[in-house]
Chains A and B, each alone.
Chain A
Amino acid sequence: MLVADPTGAAAWRRFREELAAADRPGRARLLSVRADRLRANDIRMINRAGLGHVGGDMSVLDILTTLVFGVLAIDPERPDLPDRDRLVLSKGHSAGALYATLAAAGFFAEAELDTFAQPLSALNGHPNRVKVPGVETNTGPLGHGLPVAVGMAVAGVLAGSARRVFVVLGDGELQEGSNWEAAMTAGHRKLGNLTAIVDRNRLQQGARTEDTVTLEPLADKWAAFGWNVIELDGHDHLALYEALGTRYPLPTCVIARTVKGKGISFMEDRVEWHHKVPSGEQVATALHELEEQQV
């Protein structure tokens, strides 16, 4: 099991304080800069490892950044606190994005990112809770995160705890029936402490979701299962921060409209960047573009 990095955790704490004190434009700016820095770390990591799922990592990073750096009641130095909020990354193939985020928050040292996918590294191609602090359940096979998150939400109700459970779902993985089993359970039990965020980038491994198996009308589907539904721009940090920071009486599904490969011109909305590995030259271009965006 990796251990916390006190320096990183202190920086994360300072960021949280700064974010809380900032006005709305300032808050958006802080989260945007942070997310793009994580994008850069993730792209470098994938290039070094020679594997990863860069397209989905880029689409989900604004969501993960907003949760870990803005919303979740957590302490990176005490990842086992019973009343911490839970973050489940159901789309476990975006492990790179999760690792980059957790490392920046001080759950473990950022230097560990260099070991991603190397022999015996704690940082496997899919996240393992036994080895990586901040990972709440092992994911990788699709359609697993939501049922586990429902169990965590039921546990929160039983324990009378105010803690919340957030689960990040890929849109393609909604083709797995287990999600809808769990959606029924959460709707039936009115689990207001549960929020699912769908990274709606509209692409799956082989093609567009709507050319594979139609997901739309997606909001209607969740509503029909008894969920509160919010649709927003998944790259709008302020919209994410405010929607995710609010408590609701019902389980809530945030359908976050995203762009696969977001932030990198040659990756955006292109199906081949699901798990293609950027070359050194492409990494340089990508890092340059990310910097330009923040000028």
Chain B
Amino acid sequence: MSTTVRTPETHDCRVAFADELIALAERDERIVAVCNDSVGSSNLVAFRDRFPDRLINVGIAEQDMVGVGAGLALSGYVPFVCGAAPFLTGRALEQIKADVAYGQAPVVLCGMSPGLAYGELGPTHHSIEDLSWLRAVAGLGVVVPADPEQTREAVRWAASAATPVFLRVGRFRVPSVTPPGTRFEFGVAQELRPGDDVSIVAIGSTVSRALSAAELLAVRGIQARVINMATVAPLDEECVRRAAGQTRGIVTVEEATITGGLGAAVGEVNLRQARPVPMRMLGSRREFAPTGDTAYLLEHFGLTAGHIAAAAAELA
């Protein structure tokens, strides 16, 4: 007798990102890509081959890259400024704040391979602070798609949004979680699973894990509501208020530091309720990661279905 283990198909969201960008660029001449030598790692090879003049590679120069993006946006173009998330957001933070957000330059900042995606390359290459520092910047949308379908939708939205936005494009392979035909709505969370005992609010790579956690909890008779909070800023506050009002606790899960990111955002809304509910915030905690691949580090920081289920069970 043999046992069949079924593993869901997983995807690198950069593929959907690049496919959609090329499809949009075919129809809209205003769309250009700007990158910091990251033609390969931002998956822009096909874009470059199709539109050689519309890929502006400034070399290894992130401050210049974001400034150039702002200049293009202020001249009527729709620049997708692509670089590895740690360098794009860390190196060019002041350009993101002053040139893009304060100047209201409608640049689409594409943070590639975010979170712990670069695993063994270490904390210099991890982007776990991006959500914290970008959420503090006024006027900047922060969007973290959960799978290829949502990445595609978010790219399509961003191309016509005419507003400064940061798009976190995942490299770590994830299964599909978005129900077919679901549109991306900026600032609106998606409730992927109903439940009235406890709420799990997840983003990006952690959404599929939250769904798996809900299945583990269901076996124990706990009904967990699973929310994909793809827009971290501005936050869907009404969704958080419902979770606080209708369930007994909220677990947030992010492939990022919890000092200022999704958990903090949800917590700020929860604390303003007349009766805030207890919370658990899962993510890294002001700790540089040890050596290990991404899967190992997600386990290390307690971001597996088992960890999420255990945290939720404490609140249910």
**Interface residues of A, Cβ cutoff 8 Å to B:** 82, 86, 128-130, 136-141, 143-144, 146-156, 158-159, 177-178, 181-182, 184-185, 188
Contact = CB atoms under 8 A, between A and B. Distances in A.
8 interchain residue pairs of minimum CB distance: A151-B71, A147-B67, A155-B75, A181-B64, A181-B61, A151-B68, A178-B63, A138-B103
B77 A158 contact: yes
Contacts of A146: 67
Interface of B: 32, 34, 53-54, 56, 58-59, 61, 63-77, 79, 94-95, 98-99, 102-105
A137 B71 contact: yes
B69 A151 contact: yes
Contacts of A158: 32, 53-54, 77
A139 B99 CA distance: 7
B103 A155 contact: no
A155 B104 contact: no
B64 A154 contact: no
25 contacts: A129-B74, A137-B74, A138-B98, A141-B98, A143-B63, A144-B99, A147-B68, A147-B71, A148-B68, A148-B74, A148-B99, A149-B71, A150-B68, A150-B71, A151-B69, A151-B74, A152-B72, A154-B72, A155-B76, A178-B61, A181-B59, A184-B59, A184-B64, A185-B61, A185-B64
A129 B79 CA distance: 19
Contacts of B104: 129-130
Contact of B103 (A86, A130, A152, A182): A130
Contact of A152 (B34, B56, B65, B74): B74
B67 A150 contact: yes
Nearest to A153: B71
A6 to B, nearest CB: 26
A136 to B, nearest CB: 7
Contacts of B74: 129, 136-137, 148, 151-152
Contacts of A153: 71
B40 to A, nearest CB: 20
Nearest to A136: B74
Contact of A184 (B53, B61, B66, B103): B61
A154 B98 contact: no
B59 to A, nearest CB: 7
B64 A152 contact: no
A139 B95 CA distance: 10
A144 B95 contact: yes
A161 to B, nearest CB: 9
A148 B71 contact: yes
A182 B75 CA distance: 17
B105 A137 contact: yes
A138 B74 CA distance: 11
Contacts of B34: 151
Contacts of B59: 181, 184-185, 188
Contacts of B56: 154
A216 to B, nearest CB: 24
A149 B67 CA distance: 8
Given A141-B94, A159-B75, A181-B58, A151 B70 contact: yes
Contacts of B66: 147
Contacts of B71: 137, 147-155
Given A144-B95, A152-B71, 5 more contacts: A146-B67, A147-B70, A147-B71, A152-B72, A181-B59
A177 B72 CA distance: 21
A128 B102 contact: yes
B61 A144 contact: no
Nearest to A177: B63
A129 B103 contact: yes
Q: Considering residues A128, A136, A147, A156, which has the most beta carbons from chain B within 10 angstroms of its beta carbon? A: A147
A111 to B, nearest CB: 26
Contacts of A154: 56, 68, 71-72
A75 B75 CA distance: 16
Given A82-B76, A129-B103, A158-B54, A148 B70 contact: yes
A86 B72 CA distance: 12
Contacts of B69: 151
Nearest to B77: A155
B102 A178 contact: no
B102 A138 contact: yes
Contacts of B61: 178, 181-182, 184-185
Contacts of B75: 82, 86, 151-152, 155-156, 159
